[in-house]
Each structure stands twice: as C-alpha cells, then as structure tokens.
Amino acid sequence: MLAGDADAMKELYNNFYQYLFSNNFAVYPYRELVKDCIHETFLSIWVNREKLPQVSSVGGYLNTCVRRKIMDALRKESLENKRHTSEAESQECSYEEAMIAFQEHEATGKILKEAFAQLTPKQKEVIRLRFFENRNYDEIAALSNCEARTIYNRVYEAIERLRRYFSIKHPF
C-alpha cells in the first residue's frame, strides 16, 4: 500500500469496513456520520500512506482513527450549532454555556460510570480488553480460556446493557 497499490487499499477497506461500522455504530448511533468518518479515515490513510506508522493491530489502529474522526465531527457540529445560536450573545454568556456543556459532559461521564458498574465482572473485562486495549476477539478468547463466539456474545450483551442503562438515564 505504501507504493500506491490501490488493490491493497481496496482489500484493507473490504476487510475492515464492517468491523469498523459495527464497532462504532454500537457506540455512536449516527449511521451516516459513522459511514462518513470511516470513508474519511480510509481517504486520509490513502493520502498520507507514506507517513503512516507501523502498527501491531491494524484493526485497533483503524478503529481509533475512526473514533477520533467521529469525535472531531461531533465536536465541530456542536460548535457550529452553538455558534449559530449564540452569535449575538456576550462573552459572559459563552462562558456560561461552556460551564453548562462541561457539567453535561461530567454528568454523561457519571452515567457511563454507573452503567459500567451495572455490568458483570466478565462483561467489564471483555469491554476493557476489547475497547480500551484494542484486543481482537481471538486474543480475548485466548486470555479468557473460552471460545471467540462467547466473547462476541459477552461484548454484545454488555453493549446492549450499557445502551439500555444510558437511554434510561440520559434520553436524547
């Protein structure tokens, strides 16, 4: 791919698109935004292919890139929305908005911590390994001495439990 092999890029895209979509749509339920950010990630990788670092986990690297793009897009959208609604407001009002946003962010973090506390120890472990250590399902299965299918199920159940808790405590 470093040499400009479009077929290698196409193969990378085909191998990881569904993985990236399902992982990120589970966390950010904005279908079109997730798709756009995945496409932007692959475009960015293609444009900057000569500058890319060597990585041990391609899936983890791609997932991190996509998540950063999603967060940047959400931040940008939030800033644009605030800019449109508060152009006429004073600097003091902007400070108040920033404090409110900070408090909302803290409240969301608190709810996520509470939701995480509702998980079983095994669910907490697979979530930690999968999303914070970027381990793949086979690695987690080997560490847990169980089948990869069991890990898929635990991750799915944990995400569903987090979603349910979060939607009850923080409806959008």
* Per-residue confidence in pLDDT tens, the chain, 172 aa: 556 678 888 998 899 999 999 988 888 788 898 999 999 999 998 888 888 888 888 999 999 999 999 898 888 887 777 666 655 554 455 667 777 777 777 877 788 888 889 899 999 999 889 888 888 999 999 999 999 999 999 999 999 998 888 788 766 5
The two structure tokens encoding residue 22: 């399902």
Q: Could you tell me the two tokens for 91?
A: 């600097």
Number of alpha carbons in the 13 Å side-chain half-sphere of residue 151: 21
Q: Quote the distance between the C-alpha of residue 85 and its chain's center.
A: 28
Which residue type occupies 161? R
Angle in degrees, 0-180, between the axes of helices 148-169 and 137-144, rounded to the nearest 10: 110
SS3 114: helix
Q: Tell me the C-alpha distance between 124 and 131, whole Å.
A: 11
